[in-house]
Chain A
């Protein structure tokens, strides 16, 4: 059973824009991205949106729906009241390119500053051995689809452009946590996490965890443990090695990695 949905979609570019009202026929079971695509196909062929998988797997279609950071492909229209107007605006933390498309290059620049994975050597038979329990912590962080909704919602950068220089944001705290907890990685990332990624600026509001469409417990499982390790660092390097989980054989020399760009 179809019906007419009232929408407001932000349209414009870096110089400015406005909310444009649309009335779109929609069908049962559809998501916000379907409605946007129908606007594109029948009313405004040049409406700019990003998408790829339409199944919550690629993290392309992020926007703010009635003010909440969400994936448009995973937001069912049935979650709104009939008659409610659905307002879609671009992610606020990033500069606008056009309509719902923002310039997310900040994230890709931060990614370049993350040290490369530095594994132990393989065993003589060419394999690595790790237990399922050992990999599961890292696997949680590697579920990240890089939708950047956590970056969008984080107040440290949401309204403070100037903080982007010194703050990597929750998505990349995940990367530090992942490398720190990776059973094979040999680097000590705590200095970087503090000095370069600015993890100290995070005051654990957990807004990032709330918006993560992958349900990653960013604050509890990644940020807080890394913060704890950063605090420990000045006292005792052995604690850090001990905390690098499940390292049974030789403990490799730990070192702060050289930065890709410095």
Chain B
């Protein structure tokens, strides 16, 4: 089975790994640019994480507030990321998002409307104006279905339930990818001069998470192994509102739209505690009384934003602190109340899937009683370091877009900025991958030795006779990351985490799996675990190095935000088997953009 001549082979111009919003948009763009495209994904088509996104797509279309434009969106994004974002990515993102949304409509998407028939936009944390194009609270479904239907109509080749485990290189540039079919366990080789990674995030390494089994950091690990850098890996977003009860749903997301649409947070004493946690950085733009906060929903010109809509890192830390101080709910969260603020009809219309989710899974009627919520690991800001305009990494021919790419969101992502990121940078990566493939004359080729080595590596868990079960290793890894590299961090704990990761890595060498190669989740997990461990190590090492608190990285031993760190990015690179972290200066933004931050 490891004989290269017996393995299925395909030749394409562009291989896109991942079929969420970023991968689909990249594939469509590459196809439109004339390339022959393969779209590969681990799950069935249409089931990627993007399908779960709820709240909306951030784009400064100005449909609800005509004052809104790309400069305001750019400024909000940079401030939300505590100025660590790559300015050029944030700029392109803010400028191009509106057109990407209109394009979805042209491909069949049906967004909610304003009274004059335009695409409606809703409020979200950190956004100055109501800016999120949405469809109730199932925007991701609309986005992925629209792109999926477009890709199918264009006749793009889709390889679903097919997992990529290795990228090939011909020494100079990427030359293809290796994977297995989940259904049969058989191997498959793609030869291609351009590969776009669009594999999403890493959240499955944490115990409490809104992420699915797919989020094992495959793209991050594939890029590292191919020689690319990862940037900003210390920044992991804990969404402030995940479900906390019952235990089996702990971590499942409660969309920020609940707060965007007027929901408020209270502790066990009934206090709207967010007023006690307004940081200096956001004081000028945040309401300091309940009255002003409540007026803001209808009059944004004369009132400031409620503190419940501060960026996610601020809200998550505040909830964490309230629970620690003993003011939490019976199940260790805080109350999120929309029931007392809007009539039941309104809630059901604006938040149908939240209503359904709580009713079915927790026996809670959100139109009548408050929800219990707490932080959940949600999104990784860190990812493959890419050129902002083209999406290309340091490795020629290797592109990345979407959650797997880094830089765009700095130290903290604003809600709604991911779906727009997928569209803007998915398209850019796809186009540029196609152009590069067209420029290259010789066919990409992959050597038999490389194929054989990849196949042997993939089969290793079957020949091992060790006593380790991949499910227990994963369980222990989630425990380590959750308790030692979680929402609040210290040097001592992260050092401990690194030691434990080394131990876990040793245990993976003793993993064995039962059964055969056909649709065997135990085997799949055994392979994914290598990626999870590698990426977890990057997070822990970068987090240990950054001796300050900023965005999605909070150090108990360095609680302050430190200006000298404000100009430094941390890059992770693989050196043999070990992860190296190095400091590089943050790209500095041109004066005309900098001037936007002096204005009020």
Closest to B50 in A: A58
Q: How far is the CA of A103 from the CA of B52 in the complex (A)?
A: 23
Q: How far is the CA of A52 from the CA of B48 in the complex (A)?
A: 8
Q: How far is the CB of A95 from chain B (nearest CB, A)?
A: 11
Does B252 interact with chain A (Cβ within 8 Å)? yes
Stretch from B149-157, B280-288, B404-412 at the A interface: B149-157
Closest to B112 in A: A132
Q: How far is the CA of A202 from the CA of B46 in the complex (A)?
A: 26
Q: How far is the CA of A59 from the CA of B46 in the complex (A)?
A: 9
Tell me whether A126 and B153 are in contact in the complex, defined as CB-CB below 8 angstroms, given that A29-B362, A54-B212, A139-B110 are known contacts.
Answer: no
Cβ proximity bits A200-214 to B, threshold 8 Å, 1 near / 0 not: 000000000000000
Interface of chain B residues 124 through 180 with chain A (CB within 8 A): 135-136, 138, 141-142, 145, 149-150, 152-153, 155, 158, 160
Q: How far is the CB of A211 from chain B (nearest CB, A)?
A: 15
Q: How far is the CA of A130 from the CA of B102 in the complex (A)?
A: 13
B346 contact set on A, CB distance < 8 A = none
Does B227 interact with chain A (Cβ within 8 Å)? no
Q: How far is the CB of A245 from chain B (nearest CB, A)?
A: 13
Q: How far is the CB of A103 from chain B (nearest CB, A)?
A: 8
Closest to A100 in B: B519
Contact A132 B43 (CB under 8 A): no
Contact A74 B360 (CB under 8 A): yes
Interface of chain B residues 493 through 517 with chain A (CB within 8 A): 513-516
Tell me whether A46 and B514 are in contact in the complex, defined as CB-CB below 8 angstroms, given that A41-B471, A135-B113, A138-B110 are known contacts.
Answer: yes
Interface of chain A residues 110 through 148 with chain B (CB within 8 A): 111-112, 114, 116-117, 119, 122, 126-132, 134-135, 138-139, 142-146
A104 in complex: contacting residue of B44, B113, B150, B515, CB < 8 Å: B44
Tell me whether A135 and B108 are in contact in the complex, defined as CB-CB below 8 angstroms, given that A41-B471, A55-B249 are known contacts.
Answer: no
Q: How far is the CA of A101 from the CA of B105 in the complex (A)?
A: 34
Does A48 interact with chain B (Cβ within 8 Å)? yes
Tell me whether A40 and B471 are in contact in the complex, defined as CB-CB below 8 angstroms, given that A29-B245, A46-B515, A50-B44 are known contacts.
Answer: yes
Stretch from B450-458, B520-528, B541-549, B572-580 at the A interface: B520-528
B471 contact set on A, CB distance < 8 A = 40-42, 45
Interface of chain B residues 42 through 83 with chain A (CB within 8 A): 43-49, 51-52
Does B593 interact with chain A (Cβ within 8 Å)? no
Contact A55 B361 (CB under 8 A): yes
B212 contact set on A, CB distance < 8 A = 51-54, 58
Tell me whether A97 and B520 are in contact in the complex, defined as CB-CB below 8 angstroms, given that A55-B357, A260-B155 are known contacts.
Answer: no
Does A182 interact with chain B (Cβ within 8 Å)? yes
Q: How far is the CA of A83 from the CA of B296 in the complex (A)?
A: 54
A117 contact set on B, CB distance < 8 A = 107-108, 149, 153
Contact A128 B247 (CB under 8 A): no
A226 contact set on B, CB distance < 8 A = none
Interface of chain B residues 73 through 117 with chain A (CB within 8 A): 99, 102, 105-108, 110-113, 116-117
B521 in complex: contacting residue of A45, A104, A134, CB < 8 Å: A45
Q: How far is the CA of A158 from the CA of B58 in the complex (A)?
A: 43
B361 in complex: contacting residue of A42, A76, A130, CB < 8 Å: A76
Q: How far is the CB of B58 from chain A (nearest CB, A)?
A: 18
Contact B470 A27 (CB under 8 A): no
Q: How far is the CB of A56 from chain B (nearest CB, A)?
A: 7
The CB with the most chain B CB atoms within 10 A, among A57, A99, A122, is that of: A57
B469 contact set on A, CB distance < 8 A = 41, 45
Does A168 interact with chain B (Cβ within 8 Å)? no
Closest to A26 in B: B248
Q: How far is the CA of A79 from the CA of B150 in the complex (A)?
A: 40
Q: How far is the CB of A117 from chain B (nearest CB, A)?
A: 4
Does B2 interact with chain A (Cβ within 8 Å)? no
A135 in complex: contacting residue of B49, B111, B158, B183, CB < 8 Å: B111
A114 contact set on B, CB distance < 8 A = 149, 152
Does B214 interact with chain A (Cβ within 8 Å)? yes
Contact B153 A53 (CB under 8 A): no
Q: How far is the CB of B144 from chain A (nearest CB, A)?
A: 10
Contact A30 B246 (CB under 8 A): yes
Does A28 interact with chain B (Cβ within 8 Å)? yes
Does B317 interact with chain A (Cβ within 8 Å)? no
Q: How far is the CA of A131 from the CA of B542 in the complex (A)?
A: 49
Q: How far is the CB of B475 from chain A (nearest CB, A)?
A: 7
Does A60 interact with chain B (Cβ within 8 Å)? yes
Q: How far is the CA of A212 from the CA of B235 in the complex (A)?
A: 39
Tell me whether A45 and B515 are in contact in the complex, defined as CB-CB below 8 angstroms, given that A60-B47, A260-B155 are known contacts.
Answer: yes
Q: How far is the CA of A119 from the CA of B437 in the complex (A)?
A: 32
Tell me whether A142 and B110 are in contact in the complex, defined as CB-CB below 8 angstroms, given that A28-B246, A45-B471, A52-B212 are known contacts.
Answer: yes
A119 contact set on B, CB distance < 8 A = 106, 108
Contact B51 A58 (CB under 8 A): yes
Cβ proximity bits B348-360 to A, threshold 8 Å, 1 near / 0 not: 0000010011001
Does B118 interact with chain A (Cβ within 8 Å)? yes
Contact B44 A46 (CB under 8 A): no
A128 contact set on B, CB distance < 8 A = 105-106
B353 in complex: contacting residue of A13, A57, A112, A185, CB < 8 Å: A57
Contact B248 A27 (CB under 8 A): yes
Q: How far is the CB of B521 from chain A (nearest CB, A)?
A: 6
A48 in complex: contacting residue of B43, B52, B520, CB < 8 Å: B520
Q: How far is the CA of A48 from the CA of B213 in the complex (A)?
A: 13
Interface of chain A residues 204 through 245 with chain B (CB within 8 A): none
Closest to A115 in B: B153
B523 in complex: contacting residue of A46, A135, A143, CB < 8 Å: A46
Contact B153 A135 (CB under 8 A): no
A185 contact set on B, CB distance < 8 A = 108
Q: How far is the CB of B86 from chain A (nearest CB, A)?
A: 28
Q: How far is the CA of A182 from the CA of B105 in the complex (A)?
A: 11
Tell me whether A139 and B135 are in contact in the complex, defined as CB-CB below 8 angstroms, given that A31-B248, A145-B141 are known contacts.
Answer: yes
Does A108 interact with chain B (Cβ within 8 Å)? yes
Q: How far is the CA of A244 from the CA of B515 in the complex (A)?
A: 55
Tell me whether A260 and B153 are in contact in the complex, defined as CB-CB below 8 angstroms, given that A98-B518, A143-B138 are known contacts.
Answer: yes
Tell me whether A58 and B522 are in contact in the complex, defined as CB-CB below 8 angstroms, given that A127-B118, A129-B118, A145-B141 are known contacts.
Answer: no
The CB with the most chain A CB atoms within 10 A, among B108, B118, B142, B362, is that of: B108
Q: How far is the CB of A235 from chain B (nearest CB, A)?
A: 29
Contact B361 A74 (CB under 8 A): yes
B45 contact set on A, CB distance < 8 A = 108
B43 contact set on A, CB distance < 8 A = 50, 52, 60
Interface of chain A residues 19 through 36 with chain B (CB within 8 A): 27-31, 34
A-B CB proximity, top 7 nearest:
A29-B246, A46-B515, A45-B522, A129-B117, A116-B153, A117-B108, A41-B471
Task: List chain B positions with a Cβ less than 8 A from chain A.
Answer: 43-49, 51-52, 99, 102, 105-108, 110-113, 116-120, 135-136, 138, 141-142, 145, 149-150, 152-153, 155, 158, 160, 183, 212-214, 245-249, 252-253, 353, 356-357, 360-362, 469-472, 475, 513-516, 518-523
Pairs across A and B, CB under 8 Å, 10 listed:
A29-B245, A42-B471, A48-B520, A97-B183, A108-B158, A117-B108, A126-B99, A127-B118, A131-B117, A142-B145
